[in-house]
Structure 1
Amino acid sequence: MSSERKDDHVRLAAAQQDEARIASNGFDDVAFVHHALAGIDAERVSLAGDLLGARWSVPLYVNAMTGGSESTGRINRDLAIAAREAGVPLASGSMSVALENPALAPTFRVLREEHPDGFLFANLGVERTPDDARRAIDLIEANALQVHVNSVQETVMPEGRRAFSSWQRSLESLVAAVDVPVVVKEVGFGLSARTLALLADLGVAAADVSGRGGTDFVRVENARRGGEGYAYLAGWGQSAVECLIDAPAPAPVLLASGGVRTPLDAVRALALGARAVGVSGPFLKTVLDGGPEALASRLGEWTTHLTALSALLGAAATSDLVRTDLVVTGDTADFCRARGIDLAALSRRSDAR
């Protein structure tokens, strides 16, 4: 049943990428103030940076997708080949199924086999044990552990577990038990300011805010359920943009995913304080349609565009993007006003240079 669920998730997530309707993800509410003489030479731009104990050549990663069945093992192989060729980090899909059925371990192990020197994230649900976490890390020789929190998905999932009160204690035990950085990741519903502050208190190294607007697991699980069910919960949560703007000062290192469609969205997220940006749905569609070669080419194109956009904005390093001027409008502005956030200050950040 777990392998069937993995195949269902891929099929339904890919179907969402085919739809003409794009869910509101907040990125189009963010515009850069164009300063016509602020640009620099592209050859001066460096996208490299230190993150999670390693040197990343680009602030971009292929985010958690799949594994756990024969077909998803092939997808993982193609993702790893593409990530290796492009020199970008890669996150596994949830590995719980392989811990319960060792025969499925090769569908995850292939990530390390095909990306031997790359930065890999293992991935487990927050309710798993410290021993499970160590086994998952060992399986792919992971550089970091993604711990996903998915209470909304579990609520809608036909076979979901809805006992959430132990999750904080479980997360504490995972952080204490492993020797690699722990990254807490939502699955598309966002991490609030209160949650980010709590994660900082718990010693979590980084948080992937994974906001609303990408793959909607309410819709995925509701389709598996059949009928209307929980369809009214589609669109639940905060966008990655809202999460980044609302993030408190005592927060873990911020990563961003959820509805990232283009290199411009990635640059917007970096300008809002993310240290790196993860992409799942669009890259899944690319690898399904064109194989690893197509995805490697697309990753290379994204890297080229990130460099070009940074030069346009006068950012020699990724960290310089947080001093660019941003204008926030639309639903995101409404959210910010309700939360008491000073948007005018975002539009004049370059004045402090």
Structure 2
Amino acid sequence: MSAMPSSPGWDRDAARRHDRKEDHVRLAVVQWSARKHSGGGSRGGGSAHNEFDDLEFIHHALAAVPPAEVDLGVELAGRRLSSPFYINGMTGGTEHTSHINQQLAIAARQTGLAMACGSVSIALDDPSCAESFRVIRRENPDGVVMANIGVGRSPADAVRAVDLLDADLLQVHINAVQETLMPEGSPDFADWLGGIEQIVAAVPVPVLVKEVGFGLSARTLRQLAEIGVRYADVSGRGGTDFLRIENDRRPGADYGYLTGFGQSAPACLLDAGRLGFEEHPALLASGGVRNPLDVLKCLALGAGSVGVAGSFLSAVVDGGAAALVELITSWQVHTRELAALLGARDVAGLQRTDLLVRRSLAEYCQLRGIDAGAYSRRSEA
């Protein structure tokens, strides 16, 4: 990859991108730390409502199976993965974030998890940043790795992003809310759908379209299926809040009244349930996933795998790869044991469990024409 020409204007742009990447990591860690200290990081307490808490599994006392009989393996991009969750896209582009990506990749290799990186756009524009992403594939040469690029980039850039990591999938992130609030944002949404369709046709790997924390509606999922998108991560609100991050970076923080905008991951999955199987891409879920129980709730609502960012980033920042391996290993044990408790031997079995949909999620279902009560009677079918 050839070097970019240097000019005072280009240098200023590069410095701003560098600062933005550092701001995102710093503010995301602050958010997650605040949730943990309020109780929200571990069990859903604290001041902020998380709609995962509006979902409750019905306990059937004689339904449990031995944990040894449970296999929660999933398939992603033609590869079999032993765990139903993965390390979602976070960061890259600076020396500090290069170290974070290295530690995440080591943990992914040691635990067998798939891993996505943060947006590689910064490396496409500034080759000196490329190493902060290449380290992922170097540390995890045989694992499932996802490159990440922003909607609006060209098909040629998408191919370069895949090549940069020798990626198995390409995440294309949709971030209209973030672009609207970002001080450096460019809210030019004219032909995002057409651009995604061109990327799908250009890259040699499956495309995974994801939101950045505001949710994908059933309408959006249908549009993505129509242009050949293979996977979609609904990425709902409740996790890393980019609205708050970008508002905190704005002079005057004048968009605070938008707090809570968008749909949660559970709401998006329930909405997608109104569509036929062929009407939406294969579903993944992320956004506000705090613990193994939240993972199982996503799987029970139809997600094929679940992305986790905030709690994994916090573990890496606090204790490096070793701390994250310990956390992931615990999640792997807990997801298997809780699935066994629910009588589910695999992911398909989780989608036959009985779920109560309560409070704000129940109201959402009522307004969207979703039969929430049907989820409480699935084991009777």
TM (norm. structure 1) is 0.98
SS at structure 2 position matched to 1:61: strand
Verify: 1:273 aligned to 2:273, yes or no. no
CA distance in structure 2 between the aligned counterparts of 1:2 and 1:222, rounded to whole angstroms:
17
* 2:30 match: 15
Q: Is the 8 A contact 1:216 1:235 kept in 2?
A: no
The one-character-per-residue Cα deviations of 1:85-115 (angstroms, maximum 9, x if unpaired) are 1110000100000000001100000000111
288-297 or 17-26, larger mean C-alpha shift = 17-26
SS at structure 2 position matched to 1:269: helix
SS at structure 2 position matched to 1:316: coil
* 1:232 match: 257
Verify: 1:58 aligned to 2:109, yes or no. no
Q: Is the 8 A contact 2:74 2:305 kept in 1?
A: no
CA distance in structure 1 between the aligned counterparts of 2:22 and 2:233, rounded to whole angstroms:
24
Describe how 1:17-36 pairs up with structure 2 within 5 A: 17-19=32-34, 20=38, 21=46, 23-36=48-61
SS at structure 2 position matched to 1:159: coil
Structure 1 runs of 4+ off > 4 angstroms? none
The one-character-per-residue Cα deviations of 1:277-319 (angstroms, maximum 9, x if unpaired) are 0000111011000111000111111000010011001111111
Q: Is the 8 A contact 2:355 2:375 kept in 1?
A: yes
TM (norm. structure 2) is 0.91
**Equivalenced residues, count:** 352
Q: CA RMSD in A?
A: 0.8
Structure 1 residue runs of 5 or longer lacking an equivalent are none
Deviation at 1:22, TM superposition (A): 5.4
Q: Is the 8 A contact 1:187 1:217 kept in 2?
A: yes
The one-character-per-residue Cα deviations of 1:164-185 (angstroms, maximum 9, x if unpaired) are 0110110010001011010000
The one-character-per-residue Cα deviations of 1:161-208 (angstroms, maximum 9, x if unpaired) are 111011011001000101101000000000001001111111100100
* 1:221 match: 246
The one-character-per-residue Cα deviations of 1:29-76 (angstroms, maximum 9, x if unpaired) are 000010000010110011112222111111110000000011000100
Match of 1:4 among 19, 22, 25: 19
Q: Is the 8 A contact 1:38 1:314 kept in 2?
A: yes
Describe how 1:30-45 pairs up with structure 2 within 5 A: 30-45=55-70
Verify: 1:340 aligned to 2:369, yes or no. yes
SS at structure 1 position matched to 2:263: coil
* 1:158 match: 183
Q: Is the 8 A contact 2:286 2:308 kept in 1?
A: yes
CA distance in structure 2 between the aligned counterparts of 1:226 and 1:111, rounded to whole angstroms:
35
* 1:136 match: 161
* 1:324 match: 353
What letter matches 1:76 in structure 2?
Answer: N
* 2:5 match: none
CA distance in structure 2 between the aligned counterparts of 1:49 and 1:89, rounded to whole angstroms:
11
Q: Is the 8 A contact 1:149 1:186 kept in 2?
A: yes
* 2:116 match: 91
CA distance in structure 2 between the aligned counterparts of 1:338 and 1:49, rounded to whole angstroms:
33
SS at structure 2 position matched to 1:273: coil
CA distance in structure 2 between the aligned counterparts of 1:49 and 1:194, rounded to whole angstroms:
26
Give percent identity, aligned residues only. Answer: 56
* 1:195 match: 220
227-236 or 153-162, larger mean C-alpha shift = 227-236
Match of 1:207 among 232, 251, 276: 232
* 2:330 match: 301
Structure 2 residue runs of 5 or longer lacking an equivalent are 1-15, 39-45
Deviation at 1:234, TM superposition (A): 1.6
